Amino acid sequence: MKKEKVRERIIRVASDLFYKQGYNSTGINQIIAEADIAIGSLYNHFSSKNDLLQAYLIKEELEWFEGFENSTSKISDPKEKLLALIDYRKKLQKTSKFAGCHFIKIVSETGEGNPSVSGFAKLHKEKQKDLIKTLVTEYGAQGQPADTDLIAENIFLLIEGAVVTSTINKQNDSFDQVKKIVQGLLP
């Protein structure tokens, strides 16, 4: 196993802390201590805590889409891929112990006080919606005429609602319900 670079270690430690205890509750000194680095090392890589927050968001987005691609790489049917997306989100909730979506959490914490963060999160959700729309369009190309924009929007909202519901209830049965609804939307 290759040695983790200092920059990667800082991002990993900060990401874990931001997600588990919140961005505002995570101090630079805690990140430095848990990453086991000197203060100068942190500032060699990041000009501020906000700069580190941007790196966290980029890391989480890359991991989200890579994780989806890896979990669906053997699936070619667009409907099956959409159902696999629901399973993927369900798995993310379970592995995080129902801690919720990184992007929803950070926006709820930073609010509109940090437009670059809220803008990044909004774009991330748009990319998820575009992914759904692409799959719905591919499904429609198989001879199922439909309002792809409306169906994609509904599926996106159903999945996001399942994430929030499972975070609150600490269980995943909302995803099973979403799968049933999506199967009805895409006969």
Q: Shortest CA distance to 63 belongs to which of 84, 88, 26, 80? A: 88
What lies within 8 Å, CB to CB, of 186 at 6+ separation is: 79, 82, 136, 139, 144, 146, 151
The confidence band for 18, taking pLDDT boundaries of 50, 70 and 90, is very high
Q: Considering the entire predicted model, what is its pTM?
A: 0.90
Over residues 102-116, mean pLDDT = 89
Query: At 120, which CATH number?
Result: 1.10.357.10
Question: What pLDDT does 145 receive?
Answer: 58
Beta-carbon neighbour count of residue 11 at 10 Å?
22
Percentage, residues of the chain above pLDDT 90: 83
Question: Looking at the domain assignment, is residue 81 inside a domain?
Answer: yes
* Cα 28 → chain centroid: 24
Measured CA distances, 137 to 34, 78, 104, 184 (Å): 46, 9, 27, 16
Question: Looking at the domain assignment, is residue 41 inside a domain?
Answer: no
Tens digits of per-residue pLDDT, 51-85? 999 999 999 999 999 999 999 999 999 999 999 99
| Distance of alpha carbon 159 from alpha carbon 21, whole angstroms | 24
Domain that holds residue 167: 56-185
Tell me how many domains the chain contains: 1
Give the torsion sign (CA, 66, 72, 76, 77): negative
Over residues 134-157, mean pLDDT = 86
